[in-house]
Amino acid sequence: MAKAREPNVTKGKRRAGQTVGYLRVSALDQKELRQLEGVDLDKRFTDKASGKDMHRPQLQQLMEYVREGDTVICHAMDRLARNLDDLRKIVLGLTERGVHVRFEKENLTFTGEDSPMSHLLLSVMGAFAQFERDLIRERQREGIALAKVREGAYVGRKHSLSPAQAKELCRRVALGESKTKLAEELSISRQTLYRYVAGATH
């Protein structure tokens, strides 16, 4: 877990050169404690929201809080922003104010005195992070599509037949009609057909 140190305050002014952590967890993935684990922080800001844009309350507070000489630490680039444009805006906006930005996963630090190659690296690494997220979303969509094909595997799937259709199905099965042909006619799987028939016998 990221540990927050008590800021060293002198005469009402906070100490310069603080280490400030930014953590973001989505509504579906609350594994906040695994981000910046073991990193000593003077202060941390945590958003429990998607990173689809820059309008996140804790991010805005962080931007207002940090001062020249501070270092902002994120677990990874995709924790700070979900697209390349926002990533560049945030990083460059901070470094122009003399705030360093460090990404633990990528092992990269931006200071505002970076060479053109560093700016290129920021763009390339950010693009890779975005590409990786797109691949994950595509796999999720494919998984849902396959689950829909496998009857019953998709949570929230509605019944395929109305009560009247289910009753008619059971009647025709009892008359000896082919279960395979009935399933094809009604556009349901054989597993679904058997469930309707089994339900009618109980």
Domain boundaries, the chain: 3-114, 163-200
Catalytic residue of the set 26, 118, 160, 189? 26
Has residue 27 got a pLDDT over 50?
yes
What phi and psi values does residue 4 have, to the nearest 5 degrees? -100, 120
Has residue 8 got a pLDDT over 50?
no
Among 112, 7, 17, which Cα is nearest to 70's?
Answer: 17
Question: Residue 157 — pLDDT band, cuts 50, 70, 90?
Answer: low
26 is catalytic: yes
Instruction: Look up the pTM and report it.
Output: 0.55
In sequence order, the β-bridge partners of residue 72 are 20, 101
Q: What is the pLDDT of residues 42-63, one digit of tens each?
A: 999 998 876 566 678 999 999 9
CB-based contacts of 89-93 (< 8 A; 24+ apart in sequence): 89/54, 90/54, 90/59, 90/63, 91/122, 93/63
In this prediction, residue 6 carries a pLDDT of 47
Burial of 121 (0-12, 13-18, 19+ CB in 10 A): middle
Has residue 122 got a pLDDT over 70?
yes
Question: Residue 115 — pLDDT band, cuts 50, 70, 90?
Answer: low
Looking at domain 3-114, its CATH architecture is 3-Layer(aba) Sandwich (3.40)
Mean pLDDT of the residues in the chain = 78
